[in-house]
Each structure stands twice: as structure tokens, then as C-alpha cells.
Amino acid sequence: MRLLRGVLIRLAVFAVSLAVASVLIFVVCALLPGDVAQVILGVDATPDQVAALRAQLGLDRPLAVRYLAWVVGMLHGDFGVSAVSGVSVAAQLGTRLPVTLWLVGFGMVVAIVVAIPVGMIAAVRNRKLSGFAASGLSQLGLAVPAFWLGILLVLLFAVRLRWLPANGYVPLLSDPGQWAAHLVLPVASLGLVQSAVLVRYVRSAFLEVLAEDYYRTARAIGWSRMGALLRHGLRNAAVSVVTVLGLQLGTLLVGAIVIESVFTLPGLGSLLLAAVGQRDLIMVQGTVLVLVLAVLIINMIVDWSYLIIDPRLRTREIAPTEPETAPEPTR
């Protein structure tokens, strides 16, 4: 019963958060300076022409009415029509969203694959040269912007070695080989920078495990350091690490906007930047709301994953949402 109540509470928090986000997105876009109709018609348009286009676009209606119409349309799968291009916003989002999801998903896989072993080495050998080297590399990675790393990778692997394409995108169904080749550099740029952040948290989590009695007991009965960590410490450190992974996935979505610009990928980031430049508010609202929805879904999945990692949390109403409030490691 408590588990069901906890799930319902999380769903309610998700719905309220999404509703509040939609209001904020709509109001902020509506209060931005400038006039969409004036942008579309140009500086030579007469006031009557601007007023007529505003009426056609529905911009002359009260703010609350426009918001309700926008929400009702989205509930039916209609995000509106771009005021600049006349293309359906939902169609554009459906085309661009997979590109961003591939980029963010593979970027996080790269970050995890790099961060967990490097973080474990930095913790187990924290007083030795290899441990200092692992920690130093993570500190160096924190100072490197993703777009700058992307430019360096392009210069090396695309311009000098000519192993990979420098930019562009090929759909998966069109050519799987070229699809993978075009994603390698942007995924590496995003994932390697994020792995530097994760290494610090993985190292900290495993250092706490090394100080626990159950780890020392495992070592005393003959387990190796890595064996004891993998057998007894990985799950105990997972709560804090998973929390950080959830937070970093939101950061990856934001970082993907920059990476898409560097590698000219047709994802949500490039769509959002183009819409902002053209003052296409309908497109901006829909794109930002989809990004917010993705972050909320990620946070909810991370929240529920605590129940799998630590069964004790199934008897609680709300799982922790911050690394500092993570439960004590299970014995």
C-alpha cells in the first residue's frame, strides 16, 4: 500500500511540475520583446498589415485564452503551426527528437563506461600514482568545454586523419553505417566531458565504501580490492551515483544544444536556436516543453530506480532526490 501511495505521489508531482513549467514557458515567451507579426512581414509592413496578421495568428486574444488553446491542442497532439514556416510543430519535433535522443543516450553511455572504472581506480589507488592520474584527468576534463573538445576531435579525426565525417547527419534507416559514423564525434565530445564530472562522484561514493566495516570484512576473508568493491560495494554506492546520473542527464540535454550546433545535427537544439532567432514563439514553446518533459521523465525514472537498488526504500513514501540525502549503504 505504501509503495502504491509513493508511486501516486510521484505521478502527482510529475503532473504538477509539468503544468507549472508549461505556464512559465508560455508566459515568458509571451512577455519577450518584439512582435512576431512584425518579424514575419518585415520593417516595411504597415500597421494595418501587422494588425491583420496578429489577428490571423491569434495574437490579439487574451493571454489566458491563448494559453488554454495551446494546452488543449497539445493534449490532442497538436502543438500548433510555425508562424514563420507554416510547418506543424509536432511534425518538426517528431523528426528532430530522435537525433537528440541518440546523442544524449549514447553520450551518457560513454560517460558511464568511462567514469565508473576510472572513478573506482581513483578511489582504490587514491594514494598512488595511478589514482592521482585518474583524479587529475577528471579535473582537467572539468575545465574543457564540450564544444572545444568537439572542435579538437574534428581537427584530429575528420580533418587530419579523415577517419570520420566532420558534421551532418544520416538517418538510421537510410544508412546504419553512416548514421553511426556521423554520431561518433558528437557523442564522444558530449560523453567524455560528462564523464569527468561523474568520476568525482563515483570516486567519492567508493571512498565511502572503502571505509565501511563490511568492505574490510570482505577483504579479511580473502577478497581482492576490486572484487570486494564489485561484490559488496557497487550496489551500496549505486544510490548516490544514480542520483548524479539523473542530474547529469538533464545537463546533457542542455549540452546537446551546443554540440548540435558544432556538428550541424538536425536535433532539438538546432531547431530551438533557429526558432529563437526567427522569433517563432510557437516553435520555441513546443521545443522547450518537450525538453522539460524529458528532464521530468528522467528524474521520475531515477526516483523509481532507488526502489530497485535499495529495497528498504519500498517502505518509504518518497525516495531521496539529492546525493546528500541518499540512504546509508546496506550491509
Chain segment 317-330, per-residue pLDDT in tens: 444 444 444 444 44
Quick one: average pLDDT of 233-255? 75
Same domain, 190 and 266: yes
Please tell me the pTM assigned to this model.
0.81
CB within 8 Å of 195: residues ≥ 6 apart: 110, 111, 112, 114, 115, 118, 138, 141
Same domain, yes or no, for 98 and 212?
yes
What is the grid cell recorded at 238?
A: 549505486
Res. 315 pLDDT band, cuts 50 70 90: low
- Backbone dihedral region for residue 222 (phi beyond 0: left; psi -120 to 50: alpha; all else: beta): left
Residue 283 and residue 159 share a domain: yes
- What single string gives the DSSP state of each residue in 105-138? HHHHHHHHHHHHHHHHHHHHTTTSHHHHHHHHHH
Query: CA torsion sign, 282 to 287 to 291 to 294?
Result: positive
pLDDT tens digits, residue range 40-54? 777 677 888 878 877
Phi, psi dihedral angles at 312 (to 5 degrees) = -60, -30
Query: What does the pLDDT average to over 165-194?
Result: 91
Tell me the mean pLDDT in the region 17-46. 81
- For residues 247-261, average pLDDT: 81
Give the dihedral of Cα atoms 156, 159, 164, 170; nearest 10 deg: 130
CA atoms of 82 and 77, how far apart (whole Å): 15
- Rounded mean pLDDT, 74-98: 86
Q: Is residue 198 part of a domain?
A: yes
Query: How many other CB atoms are found less than 10 A from the CB of residue 36?
Result: 21
Confirm whether 166 is domain-assigned. Answer: yes
Is residue 25 within 8 A of residue 17, CB to CB? The reply is no
The residue with cell 558511464 is 112
The answer to whether residue 86 is domain-embedded is: no
Secondary structure of residue 79 in the 3-state scheme? coil
How much is the pLDDT for 210? 80
All cell numbers assigned to 120: 573506482
The span from the CA of 238 to the CA of 302, in Å, is 11
For residues 113 and 161, state if they share a domain.
yes
CA distance 40 to 214: 67
Confidence at residue 317, expressed as pLDDT on a 0 to 100 scale: 47
* Within a domain: 162: yes
Contact 2, 317 (CB under 8 A): yes
Of the two residues 84 and 79, the one the predictor is more confident about is 79
Task: Taking residues 282-301, report their average pLDDT.
Answer: 87
Q: How many domains does the chain have?
A: 2
Residue range 134-155: mean pLDDT, rounded: 85
The pLDDT value recorded for residue 313 is 59
Of 42, 75, 108, which one is at a domain's C-terminal end? Answer: 75
* The predicted structure's pLDDT at residue 103: 92
Domain assignment present for 117: yes
Range from 36-50, 295-309, 313-327 carrying the lowest mean pLDDT: 313-327
Residue 230: pLDDT over 50: yes
310: confidence class by pLDDT, cuts 50, 70, 90: low
Residue with cell 540535454: 253
Domain residue limits at 43? 2-75
Does 208 have pLDDT greater than 60?
yes
Question: Is the same domain home to 120 and 62?
Answer: no
C-alpha cell at 69: 488553446
- The more confident residue out of 164 and 327 is 164
